[in-house]
Amino acid sequence: MESWTFPPSYSDEYVPAASSRYWFSQRETMNATEREGAILLRLREVCDYAYANSAFYKRRWDQAGFHPDSLGSLEEFEDRVPVITKRELRESQAKAPPFGDYLCVPEKEIFHVHGTSGTTGRPTAFAIGRNDWTAIANAHARVMWAMGMRPGDMICIAAILSLYMGSWGALAGAERLGAQAFPFGAGAPGMTARCAQWLDALKPAGFYGTPTYALHLAQVAIDEGLNPRDFALKYMFFSGEPGASIPGVRDRIAELYGAKVFDCGSMAEMSPWMHVAGSDETEGMLCWQDIVYTEVCDPQSMRRIPYGQRGTPVYTHLERTSQPMIRLASGDLTRWVDEPNPCGRTYPRLPQGIFGRIDDMFTIRGENVYPSEIDAALSATPGYGGEHQIIITREAAMDELLLRVEADEHVNGGLEHFRDAIAKRIHKLLGVRTKAEVVARGTLPRTDFKARRIIDDRAVFREMNAQIENLGRDA
């Protein structure tokens, strides 16, 4: 199998023939049973390595009664190796700062440091060794090749260049591919209008960002008197949030730009995060199992579920040596299938991508609702102005769902008709009666990064109720 070693060793000189469908034809098209046998051998190597070099894994596995020498099958891997969570990673870094006792290389070997912002708690630091950075770049180049991008193509990286791993991972892949890397970034005031002007001038072949930002960019371009289709983009690949696998969102982006739209990306901790990604001929997201071993599991038992069912992805690095993640629970929800893929790759697939985080799900009158479902329904509604807010509130004893939705200034049939259309569409989709408030386009805040559209007024209700109870006890 092409370059199948641990630790990985890739030649930076290698590039397939331009006409080749595959970067590594054997690895990408091999019999699934044969691949699983190779993965089992690799898991033994990875677990041996982690057990010998990480106090975190040694402690965790000793407690669970697992030793890498006893690993005899993929079923045993799923049964005996405990999942790890982001909370455990944060706790490890708090006890062994700054990178935790799951760091498996000397600190002097760290090449890149990235991480979470820490806006909701202690930030998590990602320490990436030089050899790991090379492996990430090679993996991303493989996936971008599968999407159709080739050496010499100009690729615009229109995402924040900061601690955020997504932009840097896309940039590393573009550079390894031999593309003309165009790291435009995002985030500064007025930058979106300048991005539209640069895209119009340079006509890059590829574009990376979040779906939310691509939709925002298209509207800004139109406001500037530009047509996004004139940018001549061919490939648009996205991560950071659900959307690019949701037909309503994906098709809207494709229509605005006249480009192919690809969904990709799992978690920053799992970089190379493009190990779940679509290809030129296959929609949804392929699970590139020879880069990161993906299981879709029952969220309670963390046992792998049959193909065709919904569950949460659990990921294991097969190439990382600096901070290897072994059975990291994603907390996301997806559905996977194992069926022939139009591109010929023999990987399992997530046909609808990743629906969103299980924690993002909210319940209204007994119905489980994912924000991505609402995003898709609104994006497919004629007259939608490009942004919305989901407001969960309480009137009397019942939870209520209110949508504050922007309308296009040229909406057909008037605002009342548009409001009724929204309410009917959401009721049909979710089985929940929904109130809709229509506002003018441009009313709601935009973002150059991931959208934050949910406002839960029930939190205010609980806080006020607790204050009242405390006052009663103090009286």
Domains of the chain (ranges, CATH numbers): 1-357 (3.40.50.12780), 361-474 (3.30.300.30)
Helix (H) or strand (E) holding 458: helix 458-474
> What's the number of CA atoms in the CB half-sphere (13 Å) around residue 171?
15
DSSP label of 278: -
Quick one: angle between helices 32-53 and 55-64, nearest 10?
Answer: 110
What is the rounded average pLDDT of the residues 264-274? 95
Model confidence at 71, pLDDT cuts 50, 70, 90, reads: very high
Quick one: 467 exposed, middle or buried, by C-beta within 10 A (0-12, 13-18, 19+)?
exposed
Note the pLDDT of residue 448: 61
- Write down the H helix ranges in 19-164: 25-29, 32-53, 55-64, 74-80, 86-95, 130-147
Quick one: 382 exposed, middle or buried, by C-beta within 10 A (0-12, 13-18, 19+)?
exposed
136 close to 272: Cβ distance less than 8 angstroms: yes
Query: How far is it, in rounded angstroms, from Cα 353 to Cα 246?
Result: 8
Does residue 351 have a pLDDT over 90?
yes
Query: How far is it, in rounded angstroms, from Cα 318 to Cα 249?
Result: 32
Within 10 Å of residue 45's Cβ, how many Cβ atoms? 14
Residues with Cβ within 8 Å of residue 136, at least 6 apart in sequence: 128, 169, 172, 173, 271, 272
136 close to 128: Cβ distance less than 8 angstroms: yes
For the chain, the 3-state helix, strand and coil shares in percent, each to the nearest 5, are 40, 20, 40
Does residue 63 have a pLDDT over 80?
yes
Residues with Cβ within 8 Å of residue 17, at least 6 apart in sequence: none
DSSP lists the bridge partners of residue 317 as: 292
Q: pLDDT of 3-43, one tens digit each?
A: 999 999 999 999 999 999 999 999 999 999 999 999 999 99
DSSP lists the bridge partners of residue 349 as: 286, 337
Torsion over CA of 303, 307, 312 and 317, rounded to 10 degrees?
80
Residues with Cβ within 8 Å of residue 351, at least 6 apart in sequence: 245, 283, 284, 335, 337
Note the pLDDT of residue 470: 54
Per cent of the chain over pLDDT 70 is: 90
274 or 472, which is more confident: 274
Does residue 398 have a pLDDT over 90?
no
Does residue 464 have a pLDDT over 70?
no
Find how far residue 462's CA is from the centre of its chain. 32
End-to-end, the C-alpha distance of the chain in Å comes to 74
DSSP string, 224-270: TT--GGGG---EEEE-SSS-TTSHHHHHHHHHHH-SEEEEB---GGG
Phi, psi of 315 (to 5 degrees): -115, 145
Find how far residue 153's CA is from the centre of its chain. 24
Note the pLDDT of residue 111: 97
Classify the C-alpha dihedral 252-256-258-261 as positive or negative: negative
Helix (H) or strand (E) holding 207: strand 206-209
DSSP lists the bridge partners of residue 209 as: 238
How many residues does this entry show for the chain? 475
Does residue 344 have a pLDDT over 90?
yes
Average pLDDT, the chain: 89
Residues with Cβ within 8 Å of residue 78, at least 6 apart in sequence: 295, 297, 302, 303, 304
Strand 235-238 with 260-263, pairing = parallel
Query: How far is it, in rounded angstroms, from Cα 388 to Cα 453?
Result: 7
333 close to 358: Cβ distance less than 8 angstroms: yes
Outline where DSSP puts E strands in 358-421. 362-364, 367-369, 384-395, 398-407
Query: How far is it, in rounded angstroms, from Cα 357 to Cα 126?
Result: 21
Note the pLDDT of residue 452: 63
What is the rounded average pLDDT of the residues 351-375? 76
Does residue 321 have a pLDDT over 50?
yes
Does residue 125 have a pLDDT over 80?
yes
Tokens, residue 37: 């046998």
Residue with tokens 């963390």: 302
Within 10 Å of residue 197's Cβ, how many Cβ atoms? 13
Note the pLDDT of residue 402: 82
